[in-house]
């Protein structure tokens, strides 16, 4: 959904998911295999594949280990 904001969750729910190049969301929010664009600033955007896990809090996205250091303020999911 264009322009939908999401908070970043600090940790992936499992070690296996943490080692992927994906973001992890609650299955009520996004579908596994879907792609999302995350903008951290007007000129910086990242495209991720979504995986889902029931322990991710609805309305948040967990980042895999390589991306957990991204600044998490003002993320927009498209």
How confident is the model at residue 1, as a pLDDT? 39
Q: For residue 74, is it left (φ>0), alpha (ψ between -120 and 50) or beta?
A: left
Domain ranges of the chain: 4-77
What's the pLDDT score for residue 27? 93
CATH fold group of domain 4-77: Barwin-like endoglucanases (2.40.40)
Beta carbons within 10 angstroms of residue 48's beta carbon:
21
- pTM across the whole model: 0.72
Strand 60-63's sheet: what is its strand order? 4-5, 76-77, 35-41, 44-52, 22-25, 60-63, 7-9
Give residue-wise pLDDT tens across range 31-51. 999 999 988 888 888 899 999
């Amino acid at each position: 959904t264009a322009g939908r904001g999401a908070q970043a969750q600090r940790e992936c729910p499992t070690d296996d998911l943490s080692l992927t190049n994906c973001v992890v969301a609650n299955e009520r929010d996004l579908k596994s295999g879907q792609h999302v664009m995350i903008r951290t600033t007007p000129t910086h955007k990242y495209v991720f594949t979504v995986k889902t896990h029931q322990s991710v809090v609805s309305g948040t996205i967990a980042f895999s280990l390589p991306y957990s250091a991204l600044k998490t303020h003002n993320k927009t999911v498209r």
